[in-house]
Amino acid sequence: MCGIIGYIGNKNAIPILINGLKRLEYRGYDSAGISFIGSNGIGVRRCAGKIKDLESSIRGQRLRGIIGVGHTRWATHGRPSERNAHPHRAGGIVVVHNGIIENYFELREALKKNGHVFTSETDTEVICHLILSYTKKGHGLEEATKKALKHLQGAYAIGIISESEPDRLVAVKNDSPLVIGMGRGEYFIASDIPAFLRYTKDVIILDNGEMATITRNGVEISDVFRDKPVKKKPVRITWSPSMAEKGGYRHFMLKEIYEQPRAIADTIRGRLSLEKAEVNLNEFSLKETLLKKLNKIFLVACGTSWHAALVGKYMIEDMARVPCEVDIASEFRYRKPIIPRGSLVIVITQSGETADTLAAQREAKRLGAKVLSICNVIGSTSPREADGVFFTHSGPEIGVASTKAFTTQLTALYLFSIALAKVRGALTAGAVRELFTDLLQLPEKVEEALRVNDTVLKIAKKFRHVRDFLYLGRGINYPIALEGALKLKEISYIHAEGYPAGEMKHGPIALIDNNMPVLALAPEDSVLEKIISNMEEVKTRGGKVIAVASEGNSKVLSRASHVVLMPRTNYYLTPIIFTIPLHLLAYHMAVLRKCNVDQPRNLAKSVTVE
Ligand code: G6P
């Protein structure tokens, strides 16, 4: 799990590489490095720590090179240190790598026997030595790389430069993401588009087994394993560079929370036909006949996306009456799931690259299920391997804690549930139109919901020193209690638990006292009275209740010490609205506790290893 970048052109590569790495830091941030070819040959600069540490370590050195590669790391083999930081070098060969070489140990032993000396504990270093061994036999960089790749097992996106061929950059992809930025007389490689978005919007997305040989005159792509050229057209990305930056907010997380009205509107855009009372599923590629015959749906995901999956079950079962099972991807892949005929597996993943989710997706396909991917990153692995896709259009999400990606996943699930229900005759055209009307009002309602920011900040100030927090929800908002707790835990390091409110008396009630605040989700729905009773139970035991309730709900006022009022919407959309104060609360608590909001300790945005 790392970010790689490469540049070849006529400008000085160093600031471009550093800049690109800053955009990729969300992929890992325990060490970083760059390498470039200048008038004195190859230079390598690396350090443990973040990109800003690398930047200060090279300040004043006047480095120059018109070709180079860079890397930001999240350790998998070998602890975070300068020695293990990329780029790695053997002779004149320099490599940056994202992924894991599974057979590196055997390869390293064999190379050692042939006199190769290793200087790091990483799996990556074997790649440099393998390529070097073939260049020593007289092969050029491109050919030597192809030969080296035949030995590698595992996942990789690799960028390679060679001192003896300073006018070419070679890049290869297998199971880890890699894209090429097509500038004018300059080219970029990167793990993700924001790395070079300020220089070009024209992008080629590499597929597995593809290798790009890049010179200042252009890009040539070939299929390494079939040994034949591949023609690929660049796609134009509509994200502006500023969308990938903080846009004036103190943290990406806050910026992304405030982007939700736009992100949700983009996810809805072009997908509703009010006249026909239909969801437009052009990109979807799953046939209506398949949806009609579905017997069962599995929803599979990790982390916050798994919370979306839990909400999805309530939506799909309620609207379309198709039974759903929800699985954590890392469990699904190992539990020998029984997948009856006529099953659809929906994988939900912001990045499209989460290792466990991809493994579960592949397992589902192997077992004969059709797979639908709900994903935010176009060109990522999950949608490319799925039978059908539903892209959320939240734009790049940089903050490690997922916010806008989550609410757009919920929006996508709402649309999918309506589509499925309509196709199966479980909803009338009139009912569909009503659901559409509520959805069209949603961006505005989210805008309104964001106005509780100051109230939430006051609550955060009050509770910033607590050690534990309990979140309660019921029905479709039970997963939102889990999400609120997860966010608080991951970014403010306060221990928090999410619970279905009805279960409180089977355990957590024993913990209630003056020091443990309880946040209760109390939208106006069929279980409101029940949650109010749960709030009473907390209050009578001396606990402090923070209620998040629907506007105009006076019943909660006397049972809570703090109340946050949310705009009203239909039952299925309450999870989206009620998530907003929970994400804001976690954010403010983290800021007040001086935590690193966008890069919480030990976490990474995209978990591309098991
Ligand atoms: C990591 C991130 C979470 C995310 C999860 C799943 O844990 O920190 O924010 O929900 O991975 O990622 P995915 O990209 O598959 O949605």
In a domain, 445, yes or no: no
In a domain, 222, yes or no: yes
CA angle 425, 430, 391 (to 5 degrees): 70
In a domain, 520, yes or no: yes
> Quick one: pLDDT at residue 559?
85
In short, whether 380's Cβ falls inside 6 Å of ligand 1 is no
Section 477-487 average pLDDT: 98
Question: Which residue CA neighbors atom 2 of ligand 1 most closely?
Answer: 605
Same domain, 430 and 468: no
Residues 6 or more apart in contact with residue 454 via CB below 8 angstroms: none
H or E stretch at 329: helix 329-332
- Give the CATH number, domain containing residue 166: 3.60.20.10
In short, whether 305's Cβ falls inside 6 Å of ligand 1 is yes
Residue 330 C-alpha to ligand 1 middle, in angstroms? 13
Section 498-511 average pLDDT: 85
Same domain, 432 and 501: no
Pocket test for ligand 1, best of 27, 402, 408, 486 (most atoms within 8 A of CB): 402
In short, whether 349's Cβ falls inside 6 Å of ligand 1 is yes
Residue 458 known to be catalytic: no
- Give the CATH number, domain containing residue 435: 3.40.50.10490
Residue 2 known to be catalytic: yes
What is the pTM (predicted TM-score) of this model?
0.77
Residue 603 C-alpha to ligand 1 middle, in angstroms? 10
In a domain, 325, yes or no: yes
In short, whether 357's Cβ falls inside 6 Å of ligand 1 is yes
Same domain, 428 and 534: no
Residue 109 C-alpha to ligand 1 middle, in angstroms? 35
Query: Which member of 255, 370, 422, 605 is catalytic?
Result: 605
Spatial separation of the C-alpha atoms in residues 309 and 293, rounded to whole Å? 21
In a domain, 348, yes or no: yes
Domain boundary, last residue among 440, 469, 491: 440
Same domain, 82 and 173: yes
Statement: residue 247 has pLDDT above 70: no
In short, whether 550's Cβ falls inside 6 Å of ligand 1 is no
Same domain, 233 and 269: no
Same domain, 69 and 217: yes
Same domain, 352 and 374: yes
In a domain, 489, yes or no: yes
Residue whose structure tokens are 């973040």: 50
Sign of dihedral through CA atoms 598, 401, 355, 498? positive
In short, whether 498's Cβ falls inside 6 Å of ligand 1 is no
In a domain, 232, yes or no: yes
pLDDT > 90 fraction of the chain, expressed in percent and rounded: 74
Same domain, 258 and 241: no
Spatial separation of the C-alpha atoms in residues 279 and 282, rounded to whole Å? 9
More reliable by pLDDT, 541 or 62:
62
Same domain, 258 and 238: no
In short, whether 411's Cβ falls inside 6 Å of ligand 1 is no
Same domain, 180 and 296: no
Same domain, 281 and 385: yes
In a domain, 11, yes or no: yes
Same domain, 348 and 366: yes
Exposed / middle / buried, residue 8 (Cβ in 10 Å: 0-12, 13-18, 19+): buried
What pairs with residue 264 in β-bridges?
Answer: none
Spatial separation of the C-alpha atoms in residues 14 and 59, rounded to whole Å? 11
Nearest alpha-carbon partner for 469 in 449, 455, 487, 451: 487
Q: How confident is the model at residue 294 (pLDDT cuts 50, 70, 90)?
A: very high
3-state secondary structure 213-227: EEECCEEEEEECCCC
Count of domains for the chain: 3
> Quick one: pLDDT at residue 244?
61
> Quick one: pLDDT at residue 1?
55
Nearest alpha-carbon partner for 162 in 92, 225, 88: 92
Q: Average pLDDT, whole number, for the chain? A: 92
Section 52-74 average pLDDT: 94
- φ, ψ at 531 (rounded to 5°): -70, -30
> Quick one: pLDDT at residue 556?
84
Buried-state track 376-401, b at ≥16 Cβ within 10 A, e below 16: bbbbbbbbebbbbbbbbbbbbbbbbb
Q: Which domain covers residue 536, as residue numbers? A: 451-592
> Quick one: pLDDT at residue 394?
87
